[in-house]
Amino acid sequence: MKRKLTSRFIRYAKINTRSKHDETGCPSTTVQFDLAHMLVDELKSLGITELSVDEHCYVVGKMASNLPEDHIAYGKTPVIGFLAHLDTAPDMSGENVRPQVIEKYDGKDIVIGFDESKKEKIIIKLDENPELGKCVGHTVITTDGTTLLGADDKAGITAIVTALEHIKNEQDFLHGDIYFCFNPDEEIGRGTACFPLEKFPVDFAYTIDGGSAGELNKETFNADSAKITVYGRDIHPGTAKDIMINANRVASYIIEQLPRDLSPEKTSGHEGFIHPTEMNASTGEACLKMILRDFEEKGLQANKVILEEIVSRAKKEFPGCSIDLEIQHSYRNMLLKLDQNPQVLKRLEDAVKKAQVDYQWLPIRGGTDGAELTRRGIPTPNIFTGGQNFHGKTEWLSIDVLMKTTEIIKHLVRV
């Protein structure tokens, strides 16, 4: 299994599937079809024929039940689904990814490349990566320091495909109907925008899109996005006295007014934040984009009030400027609905125990497609993959942990 997982993941990682913000199409980038079509061909070669990729780049398939006609003796068998996303984050290049394989990791810092611009080595430091210290003896895959790796979420795809292959080939492996979906655009918050629910008739599902070994997730942030547009007044600086309103200064003032204790770099666990992610500005107009996060709905509403108050202060500080604040819904915490479906969580706990993995239920300080699917009626908690440092050039993946993920998938569906 380790050999299969390693070679399969490397093949997937080398395909550029980077999604893109501010694109209205679904998918946001056509390159995601490259991996989608590869997966369809590969799964068909493994003997899984009930699958397709639609015009929105959703790969949906089914492995039909192999239970005997008298299967009623086994009790009611649930229909289970698995999901992982095709795209990689827009934050960093996903083109010309060159994975580096370290066999039997020795527990030391890993030098993965050299930064010519800074004239320094690119290092995955053990003191910044506590999970790496738990992977001594593992097969570890890193980047070469020039791109992200794409373990988020090609590791999840790898685990699902490999599990399906094993289930298909193992004699006497009894299972009910198994559905799977590989979807686009999760990284830009639109992974379920065009989700074909009619092709995914499951009782419940699991996203394979997590991090550390044993980390299980049943709660996510409540999430919104904010867009602040500042309209200043541009004029030649030589004659600007008492006339110019510099949108750059107004936007900078707004950012400076954000509470620093409500930033990602100052929060952890169940603490929320307001995070400015992008700024495009000139003297005449500036646009700020932010994400708002909190595990409680009331905390998210409080973040909105903070922004409204800052905008109000900015208007008073810079008379004559116009400022628009637009808040958009992103996703909501899935905890309540998952707690209402304890059998889904219990089944996962039992599968993890069978794989001999110590587990923890931890909050996701991010989002998964499972949050939106849970809202739509498909309870969908999340399972670890063994990847770390997602979206950056020091991203890494433990194949040994991914083996455990693959085993858990098999235990989840075995009758």
Phi, psi of 120 (to 5 degrees): -150, 155
Phi, psi of 262 (to 5 degrees): -110, 40
The residue assigned the tokens 């649930």 is 78
The residue assigned the tokens 């289930």 is 167
Peptide bond into 350 cis (omega under 30): no
Which pLDDT tens digit goes with each residue over 154-187? Answer: 999 999 999 999 999 998 999 999 999 999 999 9
Identify the domain containing residue 345 by its residue range.
2-220+333-413
Alpha-carbon distance of 317 to 48, in angstroms, equals 64
Residues 76 and 195 in one domain: yes
Mean pLDDT of 138-145: 96
For residue 153, what are its two tokens? 């979420």
pLDDT value for 130 = 94
Residues 174 and 266 in one domain: no
Q: Kindly give, in sequence order, each residue whose CB lies less than 8 Å from that of residue 248, ignoring residues fewer than 6 positions away.
A: 232, 281, 282, 283, 286
Q: Is residue 177 within 8 Å of 62, Cβ to Cβ?
A: yes
Residues 389 and 408 in one domain: yes
Q: Is the pLDDT of residue 72 over 80?
A: no
Residues 125 and 173 in one domain: yes
Q: What is the DSSP letter of 340?
A: T
Residues 201 and 62 in one domain: yes
Residues 147 and 194 in one domain: yes
Question: Per the residue annotation, which of 152, 185, 186, 294 is the catalytic one?
Answer: 186
Give the CATH number, domain containing residue 117. Answer: 3.40.630.10
Question: Per the residue annotation, which of 87, 187, 209, 372 is the catalytic one?
Answer: 87
Which pLDDT tens digit goes with each residue over 250-296? Answer: 999 999 999 999 999 999 989 999 999 999 999 999 999 999 999 99
Residues 386 and 292 in one domain: no
Alpha-carbon distance of 401 to 80, in angstroms, equals 22
Domain C-terminal end among 307, 330, 353: 330
Residue 204's pLDDT band, with cuts at 50, 70 and 90, is very high
Alpha-carbon distance of 29 to 119, in angstroms, equals 34
Q: Is the pLDDT of residue 73 over 90?
A: no
Residues 227 and 182 in one domain: no
DSSP string, 29-51: -TTHHHHHHHHHHHHHHTT--EE
Domain C-terminal end among 305, 330, 355: 330
Q: Is residue 51 within 8 Å of 44, Cβ to Cβ?
A: yes
Q: Is the pLDDT of residue 149 over 70?
A: yes
Q: Is the pLDDT of residue 45 over 70?
A: yes
Which pLDDT tens digit goes with each residue over 288-312? Answer: 999 999 999 999 999 999 999 999 9
Residues 38 and 76 in one domain: yes
Domain C-terminal end among 314, 330, 346: 330
373 closest CA partner among 192, 116, 226, 241:
192
Q: Kindly give, in sequence order, each residue whose CB lies less than 8 Å from that of residue 358, ignoring residues fewer than 6 positions away.
A: 214
Give the CATH number, domain containing residue 308. Answer: 3.30.70.360
42 labelled catalytic: no
Q: How far is CA 326 from CA 55, 148, 197, 221, in A?
A: 31, 31, 30, 20
Q: Is the pLDDT of residue 70 over 80?
A: no
242 labelled catalytic: no
Query: Count of domains in the chain?
Result: 2
pLDDT value for 127 = 93
Residues 144 and 77 in one domain: yes
Residues 215 and 263 in one domain: no
Residues 301 and 406 in one domain: no
pTM of the entire predicted model: 0.88
